[in-house]
Structure 1
Amino acid sequence: MSEGAIDRVDAVALGARPLRYYDFFMAAFVAILLLSNLIGAAKLSTLGGFTFGAGILFFPLGYVLGDVLTEVYGYARARRCVWAGFAAMLFMALMSWVVVALPPAIGWPDQSAYEAVFGATWRIVFASVTAFWAGEFANSFVLSKMKLLTEGRHLWMRTIGSTIVGQGADSLIFYPLAFYGVWSNGQVLTVMVTNWALKVGWEAVLTPVTYAVVGFVKRREGLDIYDHGTNFTPFRASL
């Protein structure tokens, strides 16, 4: 196959064909996921009258990477990345709890600040990992099914449509689970809807970037995977 030629492949026929960039996308996906939960989830900001979680600045990049993974490599390989991210989040939460719980050295003055930054409650952790799991699988499933229905046309429709569903599931699960009874009902609803709208807006703004990355990776990999015959259950990590 010549450089830049794209081979349309069914997912079940891919076999053990080597993939140049898949591992790098998985690593980037997990890194962005951990960063968004580590430094962005706990802070609320207000700009222009909109209240939003600071993680929105880069968390949607995880959905862009999820779109690229599903579009180029298929649902099954995107599913492996979701499970890798899920396991990494649980490990991060466990180690954060262990490190925060360690007794501070005598005279060390920063324990309270450390607890404020890294001492997320198990309610927040549970809400975060549950919302991520449901939202990412919804995003990947919808994008993959829409690719089959559109026969690979209208990438913008697939990426934005899948984000509407995936981010909707994420926001609908995370904010009530994390903050119901802590914030007022009105604040929960406002932040939930605002963040969902902003995340979908981010996806729309980044559509040209998604097109460029998808096109580049498809040409370099020389393939374009369609999920004919794929088992779409989320409850497995094997291909």
Structure 2
Amino acid sequence: MEPIESSPSESIKAQRDGALGIVVVSGYVATQMLSDVASLKIGVVFGLAVDMGTFIYPVTFTLRDLVHKRLGKKNARILIILAGLINLFMAFYLWWCARIPGDPSWGLQEEFRAVLMPVWRIVIASIVAEVISELLDTEIYHWFVHRVTPRHQWARVMVSNGLSIPVDNAIFAFGAFWGIVPADVIGQIWLMNLFVKYLITLVSVPMIYFVPEGSAIR
């Protein structure tokens, strides 16, 4: 029996779907890395302390939902673990770069060390928070789609993100800063992070409609 050849339209659709998968996976990993680097700075916004990765990190929850929608639960889990390992490797690599002597003509060795040499407690707290909260987000998203309703895609994002964000927030804020900075500063970081993450979640909800439902929904 001769193999059935796909039509040009099916071939184009397959290429488009493959490209969408690449985009959402790349966006997820890139956003995770950017937020981890930015979290090395604690800024002051509206008079409250906040780690600067907060303004981009919440997007990863919605991007994870896009991966889940397009590639399925199993692949979403794999991506979460791989992203955690990539961020850990990034921290080790920056640490190694910071320890290598700088060329005298460059003159920015200490500045590089001061800004980019990882604070390991923050790195570990961040990665643990990311992995646990994103895996939780995966389970809640899957439960909502299969136990509640596959409709109302905005609701699956709001519910999964809404329940996993406080977990991420608590693990990171207390894991990274407890015993290092005053408790009231940790409280400011927790509250400000929670507010910003929920706000950005609301803004990012429409992204769930950017990709079609994949065949690997389980």
TM tier relative to shorter chain:
0.7 to 0.9
- Cα deviations across residues 91-145 of structure 1 (Å, max 9, x unaligned)? 1011111111112233542122101211122111111111111111111111111
Residue 58, structure 1, aligned to residue 51, structure 2: no
Give the match's secondary structure for 1:45.
strand
Q: Is the 8 A contact 2:140 2:160 kept in 1?
A: yes
Deviation of residue 20 (structure 1)?
A: 4.4
Q: After the TM superposition, which residues 15-164 of structure 1 pair with which residues of structure 2 at under 5 Å, given as runs?
A: 19-38=18-37, 40-106=38-104, 108-164=106-162
Q: Which amino acid aligns with 2:31?
A: I
Q: Is the 8 A contact 1:71 1:144 kept in 2?
A: no
Deviation of residue 187 (structure 1)?
A: 1.2
Q: Which has the higher helix share?
A: 2
% identical aligned pairs: 23
Change (3 A) 1:159 1:188: same
Give the match's secondary structure for 1:59.
coil
Partner Cα distance (1:125, 1:205) in 2: 27
Q: Is the 8 A contact 1:139 1:166 kept in 2?
A: yes
Q: Is the 8 A contact 1:148 1:226 kept in 2?
A: no
Name the structure 2 match of 1:212.
209
Q: Is the 8 A contact 2:55 2:196 kept in 1?
A: no
Partner Cα distance (2:208, 2:127) in 1: 28
- Cα deviations across residues 56-87 of structure 1 (Å, max 9, x unaligned)? 22212211210111123221111121122112
Change (3 A) 1:224 1:198: farther
Partner Cα distance (1:128, 1:181) in 2: 16
Q: Is the 8 A contact 1:71 1:143 kept in 2?
A: no
- Cα deviations across residues 160-208 of structure 1 (Å, max 9, x unaligned)? 1111222112111111111111111111122112202220221112222
Change (3 A) 1:212 1:155: closer
Q: Which amino acid aligns with 2:113?
A: E
Residue 179, structure 1, aligned to residue 181, structure 2: no
Q: Is the 8 A contact 2:122 2:176 kept in 1?
A: yes
Range 174-183 or range 55-64, more displaced: 55-64
Q: Which runs of 5+ in 2 are unaligned?
A: 1-5, 11-16
Q: Is the 8 A contact 2:157 2:208 kept in 1?
A: no
Residue 189, structure 1, aligned to residue 187, structure 2: yes
Q: Is the 8 A contact 1:131 1:174 kept in 2?
A: yes
Q: How many residue pairs end up in the alignment?
A: 206
Q: Which structure is higher in RCO with an 8 Å CA cutoff and minimum separation 6?
A: 1
Partner Cα distance (1:26, 1:211) in 2: 14
Change (3 A) 1:174 1:223: closer
Q: Given the two structures, how large is their TM-score scaled by the length of structure 2?
A: 0.85
Q: Is the 8 A contact 2:67 2:76 kept in 1?
A: yes
